[in-house]
Amino acid sequence: MKRARALLLGATLSLLGIAATESGYRSLERAEGLALAPPDKAERLFVLRDDEQLNEQGFRERKLSLDKPQRMQRVVVLGDSVTFGAGVRIHETWTRQAELLLKDKARVQLVNLAVYSYDVAQIAATMRYDGWAWSPDLVVYAAYTNDHIPTDLLEMEGGPVYVGGTVAPELPALGQSLLPHSALVRRAYGALAARQQGRIRQAEWDGDMGFFEAGLRELALECRAHGVPLMVYGLVPHDAAGGCEGSSACDTALVTSAAMGELAQSLDLPFASALPYLDASGQQAFHLPDSGGLDPAHPSVEGHAVLAEGFADSWLRLREGRDLLDGATTKPR
């Protein structure tokens, strides 16, 4: 009898421990805004949870009516954490700053549907499931230089979280059905995937341009089916403003961005690069004040202003039928 009670007590304590761990991991996910995508939008893999930064549609954008104002040109902007505005306030993002730059030249409204960590496939899915509700006149894909890397692992406090199914297909099938329901299982799979993929960091530089091409082609076909033009705006690390200063990661990113531009043009998509505007800024980089100079991806408010200038100039050139790659005072490298 005592042994049975001891076993029961041990089992109870174990279950309580598991429940506490599950609750803790769920709290961390909520704190970082993570929610798995609903079944009808599963290709997005994960979406953002509602908080004070998000509008009713779940994006980091103002509260805008889906009904387009009369005589207003509406531009839907897709992207990842750079366009999302990681590290800056909503009104400081390049999309908002570009809208202000254009206000004296045209009635144009930029709707920011960027989500941090999204890859090109998730970005295309965002347009398919959420973008058309805004009745855009133009779709802009702000392509950053890691969008060719499938996002299945999210780095979060306490370790990686597994949100996808393609990074490590060799992961045990047991638990697959629990992934949507258990933060603990997502953490366990995240740890397994990270260990089994010693090449994850290298993949951040190598990536898969075939994956990018497939996603971009899907987005292009989606836009053509709706009769709406698609423009690709190539974003690069902000430390490219100083010529990369011997950074191999920055140099690789520029090669990747150039390859993305070539793929866009091969699909007859207009492509503009932010690089010449960063070159023309006269700055070495645009680090966020609290980044310690260690985040080359996410620019400061001033860096967003440069991206805004590049987009505003490119949008006007596109409207006027001019060469998008002939902007600023320097040519893309």
Residue range of the domain that includes 139: 38-149+207-320
Q: What is the mean pLDDT of residues 11-24?
A: 70
Please report whether residue 333 resides in a domain: no
Same domain, 85 and 221: yes
Q: What is the pLDDT of residues 234-260, one digit of tens each?
A: 999 999 987 887 778 889 899 999 999
Same domain, 26 and 43: no
Same domain, 191 and 218: no
Q: What is the mean pLDDT of residues 111-129?
A: 96
Same domain, 143 and 222: yes
Please report whether residue 10 resides in a domain: yes
Domains contained in the chain, number: 2
Q: Which long-range contacts (CB under 8 A, 24 or more apart) does 60-68 make?
A: 60/84, 60/85, 60/90, 60/112, 60/114, 61/90, 61/111, 61/112, 61/113, 62/90, 64/109, 64/111, 66/133, 66/134, 66/135, 67/135, 68/109, 68/134, 68/135
Q: Which of 166-180, 213-227, 236-250, 267-281 has the lowest mean pLDDT?
A: 166-180
- The residues that bridge with 161 in the sheet, in sequence order, are 154
Please report whether residue 327 resides in a domain: no
Same domain, 296 and 157: no
Number of H helices, E strands in the chain: 10, 9
Same domain, 137 and 166: no
Same domain, 282 and 140: yes
Please report whether residue 133 resides in a domain: yes
Same domain, 141 and 250: yes
Q: What's the pLDDT at 143?
A: 98
Same domain, 297 and 175: no
Sheet strands (E) in the chain = 34-36, 46-48, 73-78, 108-112, 138-143, 153-156, 159-162, 230-234, 271-273
Phi and psi at 153, nearest 5°, equal: -115, 130
CA dist., res. 140 & res. 78, Å (int): 6
Q: Is the pTM of this model over 0.95?
A: no
Please report whether residue 164 resides in a domain: yes
Same domain, 21 and 94: no
pLDDT over threshold 70, residue 10: no
- Decide: 87 and 296 in contact? Cβ < 8 Å: no
75 vs 332, residue with greater confidence? 75
Q: What's the pLDDT at 328?
A: 47
Q: What is the pLDDT of residues 38-79, one digit of tens each?
A: 888 888 888 887 666 788 889 999 999 999 989 999 999 999
Same domain, 188 and 215: no
Single residue among 197, 230, 264 that ends a domain in this structure: 197
Please report whether residue 328 resides in a domain: no
Please report whether residue 232 resides in a domain: yes
Q: What's the pLDDT at 331?
A: 37
Q: For residue 287, what is the DSSP state?
A: B
Single residue among 135, 165, 197 that ends a domain in this structure: 197
CATH code, domain carrying 223 = 3.40.50.1110
Same domain, 168 and 313: no
